[in-house]
Amino acid sequence: MRLFIFAIGGTGSRVLKSLIMLSAAGVKPLDESGQKIKAFEIIPIIVDPHKSNEDLKRTDVLLSNYSTIRRRLYGDSDEAEGFFATKISTLRSIMKDTSVNLTDTFIFNLSTVEKCKFRDFINYDTMSESNHALTSLLFADYQLENKMNIGFVGSPNIGSIALNQIKDSDEFKAFANILTNDDRIFFISSIFGGTGASGFPILVKNIRNAQNLNVANKEFLRRAPIGALTVLPYFNIQHTDDGRIDKADFIVKTQSALQYYNETLTNDTDAQINELYYLGDSISSLPYQYDPGENGQKNNAHLIEMIGALAPLKFAGTPDYKLRDQNGYPLKTAAYEYGLETDTNEVTFKAFGASTRHLLYNDMVKFHLLYMYLKNGFEKNIGKGYTQDAPEIRNEFTATDFYRTLDTQFFTAYVDWLGEMRNNNRSVNLFDYLSADMNNVISGVGTKKTWVGHKSISCDSFLSEMNRLSRDNKSYSAGHEEFKLFDLFNRAADNLLPDKYENIN
């Protein structure tokens, strides 16, 4: 299955970042029987004119690093199991027509929007006097002077005009040419800002009204299953007299947008989307520094973004017959909300409901233990046991581009992500992420009790189990030391987790 994900605005990039972390852990959508969908590919398309947005840049780097690691582990295979199993591709990389001049990037090209002020974009200076007067009624002076390379600064009325140009872009036409009847589309956006609140309905409108566009696969666009995550207010910002972005306006903007969505996207008589996921929190984050865009916008990771990353996974696992009728058109829009099992300001795995724990717990724990093993035990183990079996893992392995990307870049971002969520409101306390002790690293979960005390787990436990597994009949191809290391660790973790830790599933 291929899932095209349009991540719109800052919230889109931040939710996408959490999805990358979950994908690195091996989290995948589940089918109706509760089994992971093996062949699953994500094509992220980041839509944000604010290219200097630090959240966008961090996500873009993370996507590139993920793709580098995944390609070395599994090549171009669509099917994989274990860490980094989900295939993540750029739009350019899946195009069969190599003659199309498209940049190989995860970021949508919005050059026609980025390079000017809004007043220049709408040719304000050449308008008639009457149109001047009408435009002045619709847009404040600061909106007309807004430099769109910093986004739409909480103004969806600007974004709805500017982003309507996307339908004429090379990227949108390439997306339309690639789409097949088996593909799905998902949107991630906030509802209380500017870029996300405007970009989501505009893009859906252009996809569903494809018969009016100069693109291929018009029927595929009109009938494609579309899901969306709409993020309601969940963070706070410091007060300022600037006036362009004010938390006091978030609720009013949300109410207006919800009414508009109901009238145009989710109404019973002409539903445009198949599934809509609503997510927000009454407990706001710690106040972020006020930044309308000039300084780059860098928000700490948040629980809402991590939960939001579950929405495209659930959508991908929904069977087709629940999404569209026999003619391929959307059924009545299915709406979803999310609630913690335990309403707490410190969220551990136990605060999630059973279905979320089933989806996340084992994979996330195994991934964190992998991080701990590579940080604290792996280099000491080189030259012992499984590292000596073919293909041999030698000391120079830690100097490869693969290992440096994993160790110094991806895992650094991973620990930052955990730390930012831990230090935010609501605090997400899944792991004692600075600890080197595997016995107590899972928050609220200890090792199993025995009649002589508690069971113990350490890097040596993994060395012993990986040695045992390496001696069985499984063979690894020469030149695939990376896959051997990850596969042995994943299988060892599958054996050690139920034996060593308390069961919370």
3-state secondary structure 100-122: CCCCCCCECCCHHHHCCEHHHHC
Q: Is residue 140 pLDDT above 70, yes or no?
A: no
**Alpha carbon distance 354, 230 (integer Å):** 23
Per-residue model confidence as pLDDT tens digits over 423-451: 988 899 999 999 999 999 999 999 999 88
In terms of Cβ atoms closer than 10 Å to its own Cβ (0-12, 13-18, 19+), residue 51 is middle
Model confidence at 135: pLDDT above 80: no
More confident residue, 365 or 291: 365
Looking at residue 213, its pLDDT comes to 78
Predicted confidence (pLDDT) per residue in 445-495, tens digit: 999 998 888 899 999 999 999 999 998 867 888 889 999 999 999 999 999
Residue ranges covered by each domain of the chain: 2-119+147-338, 351-500
What pLDDT digit, counting tens, does each position of 197-222 carry?
677 888 898 899 888 777 888 889 98
Indicate whether 296 pLDDT > 60.
no
Predicted local confidence at residue 212, as pLDDT: 79
The model carries a pTM of 0.89
Beta strand 449-450 pairing with 453-454:
antiparallel
Sign of CA dihedral 27, 28, 32, 34: negative
Q: Which architecture, in CATH terms, is 2-119+147-338?
A: 3-Layer(aba) Sandwich (3.40)
Dihedral sign computed on CA atoms, order 68, 482, 411, 501: positive
Report the C-alpha gap between 130 and 475 in whole angstroms: 77
Q: Indicate if the pLDDT at residue 302 is higher than 90.
A: yes
